[in-house]
Amino acid sequence: MIVADSDVLIDFLRGRGDGARRVELALRSGSFATTAITAFQIRSGARTEKQRKSVDTLLEAMTILPFGPEEARIAAELRLQVEEQGLPIGMADYMIAATCIATDSILLTRNLKDFARVKGLRLSGQLS
């Protein structure tokens, strides 16, 4: 399964870039998801009624993967591993990565630099 990060979903909502095209294709495939964390991120960034409706429409077309006890355990392990390297990533990114690992999914993101630090996370390398 492909799991979209907030950056590519925002690209889609704004109609720009390779991320927007990839999201459009993935939505048609039916095997497309995002995380509850990412849903929170894009919902909290929607400031106008029009933006909120667009976000809701997009999220309704996707599977939203939950963040539960197993994901929390994995996220904690990932945080310890990555921070040992001396280059931590954002707290939400650990949670998103853990959700992808727990569901054996591929993360579609433009943030390859940060997510590449997470051992065991499969990334879509198609974006720049």
pLDDT in tens, 28-43: 877 899 999 999 999 9
By three-state DSSP, how is residue 128 classified?
coil
pLDDT (0 to 100) of residue 108: 94
Exposure string for 63-82, b = 16+ CB within 10 A, e = fewer: eebebeeebeebbeebbeeb
Residue 70 CB contacts under 8 Å (≥ 6 apart), including other chains: 102
CATH superfamily of 2-123: 5'-nuclease (3.40.50.1010)
If you average pLDDT over residues 110-114, what whole number do you get? 93
Q: Where are the domains of the chain?
A: 2-123
Give the HSE-up count for residue 34: Cα atoms under 13 Å, Cβ half-sphere: 27
How far is it, in rounded angstroms, from Cα 42 to Cα 19? 15
Distance spanning both ends of the chain, measured CA to CA: 21
CB 48 within 8 A of CB 77: no
Query: Is the pLDDT assigned to residue 121 strictly greater than 80?
Result: yes
pLDDT (0 to 100) of residue 26: 82
pLDDT (0 to 100) of residue 128: 42
Closest C-alpha to 60, from 42, 45, 74: 42
